[in-house]
Structure 1
């Protein structure tokens, strides 16, 4: 009788390489890829931005060129043709302006005003909020009292008062929106910076006599960016809506530079007569733009939430 000894099997050597650390940008992209609504909003927003950028190449007509407008083509329904054979797929307004061209060019103005005002307001408000949190004392008290005073008034009322004084114009609308929006960034950045202000890396930088501007913008600001990015995304949609409201009320952009709000206002008086397309299609474009931005902003808020488990 023979005894069989068990054969030892060699186990495969395990890899000793550490798993790669996921960067914040990769995590944001991974989270976006996992949300169908966020991807849809990002796709629609990217498409709208491309249409606005290439409007001079895509639009059948330049709505700013009075030589291309004909009053005889005014208020034509969608699908109509002009005397020169041009097809108005979305109809025309009371001035004979092609609605499709007006929407494409109007998107340029609305996005320009919304993005520029949000970025400048974020820069001003975040800087003042960081200064208030780091300096403390009378400086903080003065800045925050101004912020409280600013936020105590309705935004649309403040913007109306500013434009009533400055007059119409794209630059004036952007300036009014900056004045309206900066306080939100200041309060958010100040609240976030107060938490970071007490941490060890700030105390170490102060012990090393690092210049204050470097502590503010190199150490404090990067750690305050996530909530500011979320607010900036939402504020872009809010600024576009406010610009459309101001233009609808007649205090926004001039008639020679039609935005979506002004296009909606042009057709408001014709709604009851059945010529709905003059206001309907610009309103749909405005709605889709704001919804797309809000979808992206809502998902960014979830992704950049520090309390959310990774």
Structure 2
């Protein structure tokens, strides 16, 4: 009795399998825009980013230019006018700085801290996580033990320890947040990479003896981007809130660097005196920024989840 021969796949068939399945973005955007809450979050985020980008042209004054400040205009209530007749719609702080202008410039610093720290942490964390998933073995075990050790410390505690060594400043805050948050991306990328590594197109790419760099960049990475994008979006909001907390505690931005946290901290000493506007309006701006980013991130999490796609 003759045995049946199983034909092995040809090189063309292996090459076809090696092509990772593309992600369809169009339906995802349609599902995103179908949510009114997500649309409100997107509009709020666009407004915040627009104000931050055009702050030098929109703000009535540069609140950190000493030549434009007058101590006699300090602690004016919202709607008051300066000695020169300039209106202050949200009032001034103790140094005579316009609160509205301070919020516009503070948004620039806060968004810069959030976006830059999230992007750099995502780059390093995703690279390390995908490398661990692809290589496996002892290297994977060593990397994941470092990740577990990193995640065992609270983020704010880690940031405080790093800033105690580096000192105050926006740049040091960004470095502290990157060091404190890269492990989250590494764990997510490694978990997603383990699932993708066992699929047919990865096995086919290995059969073709493609370089490891090409497999990581063109096959593993594109299929692991969805959760990374969601985490990065939420991380921007977390980083902005963390920077505000550190600045409020006196360990974040210096007094010469505008940020929402520093503006809130400047008005804390005046709260019991009834000068609420110095901290209140920057706090509202911080709330709107974080809520808008979180709304966008929540909707992205639902849209980019393949289980929710019809």
SS in 1 for 2:306: coil
Q: Residue 6 of structure 2 aligns with which residue?
A: none
Q: 1:23 offset after TM fit, Å?
A: 6.9
SS in 1 for 2:97: coil
Distance in structure 1 (CA, Å) of the matches to 2:207 and 2:105? 54
Q: Residue 242 of structure 2 aligns with which residue?
A: 242
SS in 1 for 2:308: coil
Q: 1:26 offset after TM fit, Å?
A: 1.2
> Per-residue CA shift, 1:74-126, capped at 9, x if unaligned?
11100111111111100001111000000000000000010000011000000
SS in 1 for 2:25: helix
Q: Is the 8 A contact 2:81 2:88 kept in 1?
A: yes
| 1:303 pairs with 2:303 | yes
Q: Residue 171 of structure 2 aligns with which residue?
A: 171
Q: Residue 65 of structure 1 aligns with which residue?
A: 65
> Per-residue CA shift, 1:154-176, capped at 9, x if unaligned?
10011011111101111111111
Over the aligned positions, Cα root-mean-square deviation in angstroms equals: 1.1
Distance in structure 1 (CA, Å) of the matches to 2:84 and 2:267? 24
Runs of at least 5 residues in structure 1 that lack an aligned partner in the other structure: 1-21
Q: Residue 30 of structure 2 aligns with which residue?
A: 30
Q: Residue 292 of structure 1 aligns with which residue?
A: 292
> Per-residue CA shift, 1:175-222, capped at 9, x if unaligned?
111011100000000000000001111111111111111111111000
Distance in structure 2 (CA, Å) of the matches to 1:120 and 1:99? 31
| TM-score, normalisation: structure 2 | 0.92
Distance in structure 1 (CA, Å) of the matches to 2:188 and 2:259? 31
Q: Residue 146 of structure 1 aligns with which residue?
A: 146
Q: Residue 270 of structure 1 aligns with which residue?
A: 270
SS in 2 for 1:24: coil
Distance in structure 2 (CA, Å) of the matches to 1:278 and 1:143? 46
Larger radius of gyration: 1
Runs of at least 5 residues in structure 2 that lack an aligned partner in the other structure: 1-21
Q: Residue 80 of structure 1 aligns with which residue?
A: 80
Q: How does 1:88-107 map to 2 (within 5 A)?
A: 88-107=88-107
Number of aligned positions between the proteins: 289
Q: 1:309 offset after TM fit, Å?
A: 3.8
Q: 1:73 offset after TM fit, Å?
A: 1.0
Q: How does 1:161-200 map to 2 (within 5 A)?
A: 161-200=161-200
Distance in structure 2 (CA, Å) of the matches to 1:25 and 1:198? 24
SS in 2 for 1:272: helix
Q: Is the 8 A contact 2:303 2:309 kept in 1?
A: no
Q: Residue 124 of structure 2 aligns with which residue?
A: 124
Q: 1:24 offset after TM fit, Å?
A: 2.3
Q: 1:286 offset after TM fit, Å?
A: 0.2
Distance in structure 2 (CA, Å) of the matches to 1:74 and 1:121? 40
